[in-house]
Amino acid sequence: MARGFTVKVEGLADLERALQLLPKANAKAVLRRTLIQAGEPVAKTARALVPREHGYLAESIDVSPKLSGRQSKLHTKESPVEMFIGPGPDPAAHLQEFGTGPGHQAQPFLRPAWDQHQAEVLDTIANLTWIEIEKTAARLAKKAARRR
């Protein structure tokens, strides 16, 4: 069975410290907004790469914090905020991506989409997270000033 993969980015210690200065709920919201926006180019490309006869599969590809029931049982949560890119719980999705053998060759759509956008996704996460932190800090400061 094919499994997902984890990407670790190092050198973002300043970003992590800035997130820790925000209230926990705000920091999670910053990361969710960033990850959704960063993942959308991959999802868009994956939708375009799905073979035409499986158009229904393309429509189900999304960026979401949710997994299907089966995927959730297999997944080990490694971070307080996680985002997934892929089709809904369609059992044909992995068969399309990886093939079933000689009778049905693999027609990958997610891996090529990730390979095409990986650097862009990581740059977006690093840069957009800073922007979202600054916006959130400004909103929190404005809210605190109104309370005074």
Q: What share of the chain is helix, strand, coil (3-state, %, to 5)?
A: 65, 5, 30
pLDDT digits (tens, 9 = 90+) for 66-94: 888 888 888 888 888 999 999 888 778 88
Dist CA 32 CA 43 (whole Å): 16
Token couple for 6: 């984890």
Residue 101: beta bridge partners? Answer: 104
What is the C-alpha to C-alpha distance for residues 51 and 47, in angstroms, rounded to an integer?
9
- Helices (DSSP H) in 5-54: which residue ranges? 13-21, 24-49
Interval 10-31: pLDDT, tens:
667 888 889 999 999 999 999 9
The whole-angstrom distance between residue 73's C-alpha and the CA centroid of its chain comes to 19
Give the pLDDT confidence of 27-68 residue by residue, as tens digits: 999 999 999 999 999 999 999 999 878 768 888 899 999 888
User: What is the Cα–Cα distance from 66 to 79, expressed in whole angstroms?
Assistant: 14
pLDDT at position 139 is: 92
Residues 6 or more apart whose Cβ sits within 8 Å of residue 52: none
**Residue ranges of the domains in the chain?**
13-143
What is the C-alpha to C-alpha distance for residues 68 and 70, in angstroms, rounded to an integer? 5
